[in-house]
Amino acid sequence: MTVFGIAHVQIAITPGGEDIARGFYRDLLGLRELDKPESLRDRGGAWFQCGMQEIHCGVEDVVALTRRHPALLVDGLDELKARLEAAAIRTEVDRQLPGYRRFYALDPFGNRLEFLERE
């Protein structure tokens, strides 16, 4: 048995938040929305392609604030940071990792996201 990758990460959105999630993940970050399988559509939510992986926005009544987060590799880190800030999304620069530049932001539901670019 071998674990050879991550298929998707799931983050939480509040009931009825699909259009807000689309506005952030599809329109602001530029991720392609995926069709959910028919067998899961009644649960709500939205799925997005993120490189070879997926981000699944699953519906929960309460989105718990936490420091846990997915880290997304990007190119054009400075342009992304400026685009998020222009959309009134607060960003936070933290200690840098060797070989990367990075910052954090919260999506409209309070999910913490890390954005990294290789130096």
Complete DSSP assignment for 43-68: G--EEEEETTEEEEEEE-SS----S-
Residue 63: per-residue pLDDT: 94
Residue 61: per-residue pLDDT: 96
| Global pTM exceeds 0.85 | yes
**24 bridge partner residues:** none
Per-residue pLDDT of the chain (119 residues; tens, 9 = 90+): 999 999 999 999 999 999 999 999 999 999 999 999 999 999 999 999 999 999 999 999 999 999 999 999 999 999 999 999 999 999 999 999 999 999 999 999 999 999 999 99
Residue 92: per-residue pLDDT: 96
**Helix or strand (DSSP H, E) at 19:** helix 18-21
Q: What share of the chain is helix, strand, coil (3-state, %, to 5)?
A: 25, 35, 45
Report the candidate in 70, 5, 7, 71 with the shortest Cα–Cα distance to residue 34. Answer: 7
